[in-house]
Structure 1
Amino acid sequence: MRGLTKCIAACFAVALMFSFTFSDVVSASTGKNTDSINEKFGLPIVVVGDSLSEAQKEQVREDLGVTNTDNIEEIPVTADDIVKYINGDANSRMYSSAMITREDEGHGLAVQIVTPDNITQVTVDMYKNALLTAGIEDATVEVASPVKVSGHSALTGIYKAYDTADGNLDPERTEVANDELDLATDLAQKEGLDNEKVTQLLTDIKQEIAEQNPATREDVEQIVTDQLSKLEISLSDEDRQLLIDLFDKMRELDINFDGVKSQLDDIATTIQDKIDEVAGNDGFWQSVKDFFKSIGDFFKNLF
């Protein structure tokens, strides 16, 4: 009986250890209550991929924490929209969806992917960077999909929601934001790079643009060169030129990154934390290995 008690205690310890260790990588529904209407900003907008079945749409609503469909505005996202807003393919299938809740000025842009296993290409920080470039601020954006997809349909839907709501979405800024996302996802697939490193590069360049306010293309080129060197990133001449072209477009549009500098700082901090976490994984997994060895020794001593 005493041995059984020790066994149960050990199993509980294992479960408790995993609940703390992996709590940050398990995602659940946001639990947002839509029973109450925000009279200041109006209804949250849920943009739903048009290729979803009715059952899948219901699953998306549940994942996004929709408790009352009367208190949201639901907008379909179609293949025509992906052509209009991000220059996509007219034959695309639209699955990823999003809920946009407007917030008070100064709140900043918060993005959460509530089904992280099913959004395979566009990361939280890629969404943030693209939306800030497009001029979308002070909102909470939640992304979901019932199937594995890249995440571009959700981005299309976010653009459509803002365009439908007030018609103030700047098409030139949206275009350069799309160029940014395309380049980010392309660079993230290059050898020696990953999502975090690419996002860090783009964010650092934006921060330097906000600090230096470059007046010429040559100034932009110098910023890009300095950040590539600082982060020890080696790009082909072609990719380096694409990066310079992208940020020179931003310079010509006179995008005020200084106005969202605090949000860029937040992205940079988050990315650095992720990089530090990855760098420390060897020590982490060694500690896990040691832990289970001690558990194994414990069980051996029971019998």
Structure 2
Amino acid sequence: MFKKKLSKPLKYGLALLAALGIGLWLTPKPAQAAALDQPVVTLGTTLTQDQQQGTISTLTKNLNDTSNYKTITVTGATLVKYLNPSGSSFSNGSSVWSSAAVEKTSSGSGINVTILNYNGKNNITTITADQYKNAALTAGVSDANIYVTSAVPIDGSGALAGVYAAFDQSGNGLNQQQINAAQDELGTLSDINQANKGKDGYSDAQLNNAVTGAKSDMAKAGTNVSVGQITTIVNNQLTKNNIQNVINNNQKQQIINLLVKVRDSGALNSSNFKAQAQKLSDSIVADAKNIFNKFNTQENRNFFQKIWDNVVNFFHSIFG
């Protein structure tokens, strides 16, 4: 069969296009912020019919659109799918009570989490609103309102698994590596919070703001931020949030380890991550003004500024 020879210019052109195509194919795509087309209400599979109705009523009353939402059921299999890869030991038969509603908000509004009382009582016994916020940030959630409740006292894991499932079933699935990092973070911060609860000069808000601030600083440093840089960032943020004398060395190392996992999960690849982290920090501080105002004096601000200046100089010395 006759084959027409290609001219040299055409050969070179095709070769260049092929090379560009391969290059584009091999170049990692920036992580995209997950989004929802409509609000989603997640219901624990163990809820009775009455509890389901009470949960829906509790979760939907604050939605921007109280009529246009869809519901999904969170089962033991949902927990296995999203939470077991990070070390949890749920089974397909596990009970699920905690539930959530999640809706997309305007760009730049950040991640907002509200734990709602069920029949006048907060039944989420372990996970705090700030811990939900930090986990959602790491998992890749962006600009969303999340409402959480439970008809019975429970830790609240099912609600977060429901949020992950809501994005998945909407065709905007979250990265499993980021979910794993988020779950590791959630467990670590919950344990540290429980260990320090009631100590003078400590609050969950300070701990979560330190971790959020660390994420923001890591994003500024870049996706290749080193363990040494992360350690410096953590030390700075613990001091900035006035808990450097409360968090012991073992707990500090746990925070460093979880932030390394956040880095390795690819969360920092998102161009939106830094802005979301800053917005989250602002909301944590705003929600706990009475705590942060106690140590946010001019003297402390000068002290923290000196520390921050040292961190900035440290990065400049590395990156030129």
Q: TM-score, normalised by structure 1?
A: 0.70
Shift in Å, 1:206: 1.8
Find the counterpart in structure 1 of residue 251 from structure 2. Answer: 239
Paired with 1:200 and 1:72, the residues of 2 have a C-alpha distance of: 32
Looking at structure 2, the residues matched to 206 and 165 of structure 1 have their Cα atoms a distance apart, in angstroms, of 27
Count of equivalent residues: 240
Aligned Cα RMSD in Å?
2.8
Partner residue, 2:140: 135
1:98 and 2:100 correspond: yes
Q: Which residue is 2:58 aligned to?
A: 63
Change (3 A) 1:235 1:261: closer
* Structure 2 counterpart of 1:252, one-letter code: D
TM-score normalised by length of structure 2: 0.67
For 1:173, which of 171, 178, 181 is the aligned residue? Answer: 178
Structure 2 stretches of 5 or more lacking a match? 1-34, 296-320
Q: 1:108 to 1:228 in 2, by over 3 A?
A: closer
* 1:214-229 equivalent positions in 2, closer than 5 A: 215-229=225-239
Unpaired runs of 5+ in structure 1?
Answer: 1-39, 280-303
Q: Which of the residues 50, 53, 64 maps onto 2:48?
A: 53
Aligned counterparts of 2:190 and 2:294: Cα–Cα separation in 1: 20
Query: Is the 1:200–1:271 contact (alpha carbons within 8 Å) kept by the matching residues of 2?
Result: no
Give 3-state SS (helix, strand or coil) of 2:72's partner: strand
Say if 2:211 and 2:234, in contact at 8 Å, map to a contact too.
no
Distance in 2, Cα, partners of 1:41 & 1:131:
14
In structure 2, distance between residues paired with 1:278 and 1:148: 33
Whether contact under 8 Å (2:37, 2:170) holds in the other structure is no
* Amino acid in the other structure paired with 2:105: E
What's 2:305 paired with?
none
Identify the residue that residue 30 of structure 2 maps to in structure 1.
none
Q: Does 1:75 align with 2:72?
A: yes
Note if contact 2:216-2:278 (Cα within 8 Å) is conserved in structure 1: no
CA distance in 1, matches of 2:111, 2:282: 10
Fraction of identical pairs, as percent: 30
Quote how far apart the aligned CAs of 1:131 are.
Answer: 0.5
- The whole-number CA distance in structure 2 between the counterparts of 1:41 and 1:163 is 10
Equivalent-residue separation in structure 2 for 1:219 and 1:258 (angstroms):
17
Matched residue of 1:122: which SS? coil
**Greater shift after overlay, 130-139 or 114-123?**
114-123
Q: C-alpha displacement at 1:217, in angstroms?
A: 1.1
Query: Could you list the runs of 4 or more consecutive aligned residues of structure 1 that deviate by over 6 angstroms after TM superposition?
Result: 67-70
- AA matched with 1:144: T
